[in-house]
Structure 1
């Protein structure tokens, strides 16, 4: 018996660098600062809310777009933070994490041959998602070194076939944050077009040094064309729960839900009820920036005892460093060496570029216990 041959939908996709580095870290008992998830527990009260929801019988299918109480809580939160009103019945959808939200948005609006602009370096799901939708990814580089958006290059990439642009702020992997001027420039650029916006805002509450997260919801010209994606997993340290949200105008939400109902239908009922109850207290997400700024500062202070050149970390839970004074190796080879010889895993920035652009920069994740970071810093001090 021979298994029939299939033509791959994603022929360029293989084992990701994240899987490779995590496997290498486990093999060599290295401190894994590669993959972006916490090694500490969430608030026990949130887990208690899940238990209570299960005990109260919330164990069957919820409504397709999400539990009404959670959609209402999300709408209330957005209005309080960004002064933009979204109707919970027609403009808020609960998703199985942000990655599903982005894929669903692309499947809903991209037709074969449509172009979608992505800004590199970018999260590794964007381009495969576009290709699965039959679209063509148009890669526009962020400015090397500063990772700021280059609106001249973005404007040059716009064409009659451009269907959407994907942006991400705070940014993974560079830890930069788009300013109000950046967002207004994007709004002005898109104003005369029919181009849609997918705004990946999963690190929205991790902005440092008194800065403000400039959500697309804060700009009328962007909000009217945007799918705004958020993540409870990132915000509440429960990445394995895979629960996110999408806020979008009613017409866009209607198309989004046509796909959502068939590729995931709905999301864990007790978890949704738990999150709805937990959101009654805004302190956990309002205090998140300070929580992670402490970890950022701890990590950056320790890295000053190495020959790494620290790049700015304005938001998210990542820190990028220039390795040029440490090694002549390429980024990927350096990360393997760092894992096996020094005992700390990182991710090469080249993994976030379609062409593997190597600029001598690697990314660490500091969403770890302070003790984990101290152990990593003690090892990195050998550099």
Structure 2
């Protein structure tokens, strides 16, 4: 590859290359952790065996309250030793599982880079041929296509990273038993959804089947009330970038849509929560609803809150479109705003790079 071509392509794959470094694992360190915890387990087993043997010798011919208390202490010690040994085993397993998640994420990311490089080579070759044939417009069209593929690479990379982040959070949750203990982005999370903005209680049953499908496998969904569609003429007007006007169901949702649209063009940053500087998908929606006066959880998988919207034809501006690992905001007229790279408006969809589709949700519902 020539130096000019490399200078052209390097900035295009830079976000993916950075992601690859984030996903790198230290196999030697993982092995050392496994060896250390295996040693802990072995030592605890030895101590437990020795303590039981010595206690048995001590109790020979010993009766009364002291013997009863001693037996209780030995039993408690055995229980604690077993719990410590099991926790050490769980930590070792969690480290291995996290390492495997990172390796899978790294492979997916590398495959995306390789696919982009193949497409880039084809488009650059075609552009050179068209330019040589005296068709500069055709050559420029090929280069425009290259830029589009670069944007797609960045978006796919960001979605892959968020999937990895969600899976790593799951490993931590399984180890600690606390679903609100941590997130891979380092932000505090909430174990239960916040109260609806308008505090209106809606009737109706469980979660339904989410409307729309979208592939990627089964998901576990919260049992939430169904959203009641707003009555015509009772909403708050919001102007969209295409010049049209839509009606949000209330002022909170309207402010959230306006705030999200105010971030158009902001770069994608993994774990980003800085408006105007860098945002990830859930960072955008959390910021937008924060501007509307409603605090929602940090990660995309926790933002299926409020009330479930059973089908796409009942969506209103401000509703969230949730996948396992991604979230977008519906803005009306069949469009969503989301943090790709950069933050952008696109058509409503329920598919997203193979991620399981969770459903539509109305935080203010």
TM over 0.5: no
**TM-score, normalising length: structure 1:** 0.23
Give the number of the structure with larger relative contact order, counting CA–CA contacts within 8 Å between residues 6 or more apart.
Answer: 1
Specify which structure has the higher proportion of helix. Answer: 2
**TM-score, normalising length: structure 2:** 0.24
